[in-house]
Structure formats: C-alpha cells, structure tokens
Amino acid sequence: MIPALVEVAGAPVLVWRPATPWFAVSSGVLGGGMGERHWVVNATVSNEYARTDPDRHLTEIAAALGLTGAGIGLLTAVDVREVEHRSDGGVHVSVTTGIGAHPTWAAGPATIPEPVGTINAVCWLPRRLSPAALVNAVATVAEAKAQALFAAGVPGTGTPTDAVALLCPVSGAPEPFGGPRSPVGGALARAVYGAISPRL
C-alpha cells in the first residue's frame, strides 16, 4: 500500500488511509500497542524537535488531515519524501531511514542525549496474523534492520528512536508464525532489508 505525500504546516507527511480498518501492532508514540487502526502517518520534524508531547502533536497532524478513528502516528527527522518502498510475497513496506552520525548498539551504554536518527518501518501484511505471530514479526523487522546495517558496515543495530507499525487484515484464519522462516515473515524480512539498504 503506497502512502500519499502531503504537507502539514509546511512539513512533509506520509499518510495511509485504507478503506477499512486493519489490525495492527505498533511501537508508535500515537496508537502504539495492538488493535484496529484506521490510518497511519509518518511525519517529518526538524533535527531540533523539542516537543515533549509527540502524541498530541501527531493528534494535531491527524486532525489537520481530517483523519478520524484510532490511528498510528510516527515522527522522524528524516525527510519522508526519501521513503523507500518494497514489496515481496504480498508484503508491502515503506521505510524512512536515518541513522545520524552515530548509530547505536542495542546493548550499548546509555547516553543522553542520543544523536538524532530514526528508522521507521510501516509494513502491510497480506494475511491475518495471530497476536503472537505479530509480535514475532516485529522481531523479524528488527532482525532484518540489523542485518542491513551489518551488511553496510554500519557500527550499530539501529537508533534509539526506531519505530515500527505492522498491519494485517482483520479477518481470515490467523497465521500462527511471523518469524523469518515463515511465509509472511520471510517476505517481510526481505522487503525491510531491501528498503533500508539503499539509504545506508
């Protein structure tokens, strides 16, 4: 599913408005967790972004776009016009990749503030996944991201603010697995890897 590119207050925003709700799992600051979602936005903010209420900011963006119902909101300092789209086996992903000057290791020491950088992945799956399989698929996205970074020689596994949204149909017999050797998970891993690699 290819998003629309719009502007809100002069900043580019990717917006997905499916005709019907999808079941989602997300780490987004707005609409995170699991449940039916009606829309997704991935919005560009400046490198100096200092708001401490990103959920309210995303709610304002959604209102400006006329979006209603529960949705998912992501923010990034990356210009979302540089999004990479990939499809594989019915899976469609859109990833905005920014690792900043200093990518981080997941198990590295905590440093505050962390350098700016965000990898946001919005992934549409062709079949319903069980809740456990969706959680497994989140891990699959993280593994594919880390693999792409490793292959490019990037010294890190990502950034401290990476976010993911996985969406699947609300109906149908649920797939029990979302790992990288499952049919949906394997396609998801390849698509995410392919979308991140060109931006490293």
- Domain ranges, residue 180: 4-199
- Exposed/middle/buried for residue 199 (C-beta within 10 Å: 0-12, 13-18, 19+): middle
Tally of domains in the chain: 1
Mean pLDDT of 63-67: 98
Give pLDDT tens digits for 31-49: 999 999 999 999 999 988 9
User: CA nearest 144: which of 98, 92, 185, 84?
Assistant: 185
For the cut 90, the answer to whether the pLDDT of residue 10 exceeds it is yes
pLDDT tens track for 96-143: 999 977 788 999 887 666 566 899 999 999 999 999 999 999 999 999
Q: What's residue 116's pLDDT? A: 66
